[in-house]
Amino acid sequence: MLTLEGITKSYSGRRVLDDVAFDVRPGRLTGFVGGNGAGKTTTMRIVLGVLAKDAGRVTLDGTEVTASDRRRFGYMPEERGLYPKMKVLEHIIYLARLHGFSKTDASARATELLERLGLGERLGDNVETLSLGNQQRAQIAAALVHDPEVLILDEPFSGLDPLAVDVVAGVLQDRAKAGSAVLFSSHQLDVVERLCDDLVIIAGGTIRAVGSRDALRAEHSTRRFELVSSGDAGWLRGEAGVEVLEFDGGYAVFDVDGDETAQRVLRRAVAQGDVASFAPQHPTLAQIFKEVIQ
Amino acid sequence: MSTGNQAPSFAQSTWLVAEREIGSKLRSKAFLISSVILFLGSLALVIWGGFQAQSNEGIPVAVTSDAAHYVAEIPGIDVTDASDRADAEALVESGEVDAAIVGDSSSPLGFVVIAESSAPTQLMLSLAQLPPVEILNPDPTDEALRYLVAIGFGIVFLLAASLFGGTIAQSVVEEKQTRVVELLISAIPTRALLAGKVIGNTVLAMAQILVLAAISIVGLTVTGQTEILQGLGGPIVWFAIFFFFGFILLASLFAAAAAMVSRQEDIGSTTTPLTMLIMAPYFLVIFFNDNPVVLGIMSYVPFSAPVGMPMRLFLGEAQWWEPLLSLAILIATCAAAIYLGARIYENSILRMGARVKLSEALRS
């Protein structure tokens, strides 16, 4: 397990990370969410040792991470970076060799991974000739080629079409299944929500929420219901203990003050007309996010 | 977890980087074309020199065996053996030789000169009895040759150092600009990356210098300019040795200077002073190759020693211990440059955006 404790970082007097602490568990995907400038990239760079921290500890299974541990980390930086004039396959082989694989092993791994990521046809092409989406896939291969024990990905899904998102998500889930600890940041909250097991929310350099996705959802759930009915749901506004949030003809989203109120509303709705759906609403990640960063 | 990979050693990492550096350069058309032009240019210079030398060769003269001992001591003639007088005359008539020298007992000198329409003046002067001449202040080296050698050392140093200095600067900024450097230094130590780049480019630069040295030495031998070679062979070897350390010195500084900027367009702002350092020896050696004081200073200043010291050795102005002392100074400076360069590089390589100030880059 990768653990961050009390990580602090300042740039010329301005504190960008303040007592950042969270775990990235092996075998799970941890989503790292925060606005622009919240400190995601800085945190990730510190974990990778690319950037020095002012205070705090990064440990792997209880012992401080050393440079040689980091050889078993995989990293996808925020700003994509590969040599533009290098051939895709050669590039990935080169990176695998820097991580200590023999020439033959590096070559076999790189080929297999690139094929899996859908770049099998482009192995001999220069990186610069690939489309942005394909460069992104090559970048993911660069982070994964050495079977990292810890995988740190800064915005791995940005710029990918929905199909590519699925391919990459599949690869990441496989890595997690194989026992890697995977931390990835993203602005696409719907993707994070669908994919991740654990969540870390950061804002203004401090951690605002940490936990498993389901626990966070439960923690932030309200008694919110959605009603889809054939009649006009305007009567809802008059009900005691009901606060209507959205309303459009037979459609309404509302909060109730208790289970009894909810049941009463349902009975009245059925009496008023056909009810197509009446369901409690779980907060989306976007809602939780907005709530915790305030 | 399958962890078949062992963290590579510092040396292995360095070599991997150097290997990539060399490989990518060898595949660059611009590099290959400019190298070929450089090689062809030096070959042309050597061959041209060979023709010059040949055109100064002796006057072709046919000599019969009974006259051979008269001409044996005379320089500047190119002897063709003739069996007898008739054969010699035929050679003169056919134009194969300018004149013939044959034994003739009726001549007071014991031989006669046979020419077609008029006797070649130079030959007549050579045959004449002249008083011996003693020169008090011999001009040690031909003026033109001195100039040619000065330009040769100067231009090779300038071209190779600026070509590979520029290359290393560009490749440092390329890594920074494309951010691939973040991937690299999350895998290997920063110093291994820097060392690999310097070594890779040094190997290429040295290979180029050695090919040039080989072209000049083989070329001079083949075209029969062995006299020049005797004077120049030693200095060329010294040049290669000095260039090796001089280049490492410059390469470390170029890498450090380039690490301070984030975009190719800004390279000039930090590498210009270094470019000046490379150009200075070239101009100095051309303008002052006949000035022992300037050459003397040049041969000890680390940046110009690779040009200055071989030049002085060629002119025979340096004592045997001087190149060794100068080399020691150069190596010490080189070590200091590697130390400073590595520090600047480590402090700057991840700082994107505005140019990193030198004072900040040097901070430990």
Dump pLDDT digits (tens) for A138-153. 999 999 998 899 999 9
Q: How many CB pairs under 8 A join A and B?
A: 87
Q: Please tell me if residue A100 touches chain B, with a CB cutoff of 8 Å.
A: yes
Q: Which of A46-55, A102-111, A284-293, B217-226 has the lowest mean pLDDT?
A: B217-226
Average pLDDT over residues B60-65: 83
**Cβ contact, residue pair B188, A98, below 8 Å:** yes
**Cβ contact, residue pair A83, B186, below 8 Å:** no
| Among the partner residues A49, A101, A142, nearest to B183 by beta-carbon distance | A142
Band (pLDDT 50/70/90 cuts) for residue B20 is very high
Render pLDDT for A175-227 as a digit per residue (tens, 0 to 9): 999 999 999 998 888 889 889 999 999 999 999 999 998 888 888 877 888 88
* Assigned domain for B5 exists: no
Question: What is the reported pLDDT for A141?
Answer: 93
**CA B25/CA B301 separation, integer angstroms:** 30
Contacts of A72 in chain B (CB under 8 A): 3, 5
* Assigned domain for B280 exists: yes
The mean pLDDT of chain B is 84
Q: How far apart are the first and last CA of chain A?
A: 30
* Assigned domain for B341 exists: yes
Q: How many residues does chain B have?
A: 364
* Assigned domain for B135 exists: no
Band (pLDDT 50/70/90 cuts) for residue B148 is confident
Task: Name the residue among B155, B165, B204, B166 with its Cα closest to residue B20.
Answer: B204
Residue pair B18/B197 in contact by the 8 Å Cβ criterion: yes
A-interface mutation test, from B16, B182, B184, most A Cβ less than 10 A away: B182
**Cβ contact, residue pair A99, B24, below 8 Å:** no
* Assigned domain for B206 exists: yes
Distance from CA of B178 to the nearest CA of A (A): 5
B-interface mutation test, from A79, A98, A113, most B Cβ less than 10 A away: A98
**Same domain? B15 vs B37:** yes
Question: What is the reported pLDDT for B1?
Answer: 39
Average pLDDT over residues B40-55: 77
Domain end, chosen from B82, B100, B127, is at B127
**Same domain? B269 vs B346:** yes
ipTM for the predicted complex comes to 0.74
Render pLDDT for B313-336 as a digit per residue (tens, 0 to 9): 888 888 889 999 999 999 999 999
**Same domain? B223 vs B342:** yes
**Cβ contact, residue pair B186, A146, below 8 Å:** no
Q: Please tell me if residue A95 touches chain B, with a CB cutoff of 8 Å.
A: yes
Q: If DSSP codes are grouped into helix, strand and coil, which group holds residue A49? A: coil
Band (pLDDT 50/70/90 cuts) for residue B31 is confident
Q: Please tell me if residue B351 touches chain A, with a CB cutoff of 8 Å.
A: no
**Same domain? B171 vs B294:** yes
| Among the partner residues B1, B8, B16, nearest to A179 by beta-carbon distance | B1
Domain end, chosen from B78, B96, B127, is at B127
**CA B248/CA B168 separation, integer angstroms:** 11
- Residue A77 predicted with pLDDT over 90: no
Average pLDDT over residues B30-58: 79
**CA B150/CA B141 separation, integer angstroms:** 12
Closest chain B CA to residue A106: B5
Average pLDDT over residues B83-91: 86
- Residue B54 predicted with pLDDT over 70: no
**Same domain? B119 vs B165:** no
Closest chain A CA to residue B3: A147
**Same domain? B123 vs B152:** no
* Assigned domain for B40 exists: yes
Give the containing element (helix H, strand E) for B214.
helix B190-222
Contacts of B13 in chain A (CB under 8 A): 98
Domain end, chosen from B71, B101, B127, is at B127
* Assigned domain for B132 exists: no
**Same domain? B348 vs B288:** yes
* Assigned domain for B332 exists: yes
Please identify which residue in the block is written with the tokens 């590519």: A164
**Same domain? B40 vs B79:** no
The mean pLDDT of chain A is 89
Q: To the nearest whole percent, how much of chain A has pLDDT over 70?
A: 100
Which tokens in the block code for residue A61? 């299974």
Which tokens in the block code for residue B221? 């031998």
Q: Please tell me if residue B350 touches chain A, with a CB cutoff of 8 Å.
A: yes
Q: Please tell me if residue B182 touches chain A, with a CB cutoff of 8 Å.
A: yes
Band (pLDDT 50/70/90 cuts) for residue B56 is low
| Sign of the four-CA dihedral B194, B197, B201, B206 | positive
Render pLDDT for A251-283 as a digit per residue (tens, 0 to 9): 888 888 888 888 888 888 888 888 888 888 888
pLDDT greater at residue B241 or residue B134: B241
Residue pair B4/A71 in contact by the 8 Å Cβ criterion: no
**Same domain? B65 vs B48:** no
Question: What is the reported pLDDT for B2?
Answer: 42
Q: Please tell me if residue A148 touches chain B, with a CB cutoff of 8 Å.
A: no
**Cβ contact, residue pair A48, B20, below 8 Å:** no
**Same domain? B25 vs B84:** no
Q: Please tell me if residue A50 touches chain B, with a CB cutoff of 8 Å.
A: yes
pLDDT greater at residue B333 or residue B127: B333
Question: What is the reported pLDDT for B230?
Answer: 78
Q: Please tell me if residue B186 touches chain A, with a CB cutoff of 8 Å.
A: yes
Distance from CA of A294 to the nearest CA of B (A): 31
Residue pair A245/A231 in contact by the 8 Å Cβ criterion: no
Band (pLDDT 50/70/90 cuts) for residue B3 is very low
Q: To the nearest whole percent, how much of chain B has pLDDT over 70?
A: 90
**Domain count across chain B:** 2
Strand pairing report for A29-34 and A150-154: unpaired
**CA B359/CA B344 separation, integer angstroms:** 9
Domain containing B198 equals: 10-52+141-362
**Cβ contact, residue pair B16, A51, below 8 Å:** no
Contacts of A86 in chain B (CB under 8 A): 24
| Among the partner residues A45, A82, A98, nearest to B187 by beta-carbon distance | A98
**Same domain? B234 vs B169:** yes
Q: Please tell me if residue A118 touches chain B, with a CB cutoff of 8 Å.
A: no
Q: Please tell me if residue A249 touches chain B, with a CB cutoff of 8 Å.
A: no
Closest chain B CA to residue A148: B3
Give the containing element (helix H, strand E) for A277.
strand A275-280
pLDDT greater at residue B175 or residue A220: B175
Band (pLDDT 50/70/90 cuts) for residue B169 is very high
**Cβ contact, residue pair A81, B180, below 8 Å:** yes
Contacts of B175 in chain A (CB under 8 A): 81, 83
Q: How far apart are the first and last CA of chain B?
A: 38
Phi, psi of B156 (to 5 degrees): -65, -40
**Same domain? B231 vs B320:** yes
Could you tell me the pTM of the whole model? Answer: 0.75
Q: Please tell me if residue A101 touches chain B, with a CB cutoff of 8 Å.
A: yes
Closest chain A CA to residue B351: A51
**Cβ contact, residue pair A71, B20, below 8 Å:** no
Q: For the purposes of burial, counting CB atoms within 10 Å of the CB of B95, is it exposed (0-12), middle (13-18) or buried (19 or more)?
A: exposed
**CA A97/CA A47 separation, integer angstroms:** 22
**Cβ contact, residue pair A68, B7, below 8 Å:** yes
Please identify which residue in the block is written with the tokens 């041209």: B48
Residue pair B49/B225 in contact by the 8 Å Cβ criterion: yes
Band (pLDDT 50/70/90 cuts) for residue B351 is confident
| Sign of the four-CA dihedral B15, B16, B17, B21 | positive
| Among the partner residues B3, B8, B186, nearest to A50 by beta-carbon distance | B186
Q: How far is CA B28 from CA B119, B245, B313, in A?
A: 60, 25, 36
Q: How many CB atoms lie within 10 A of CB A282?
A: 14
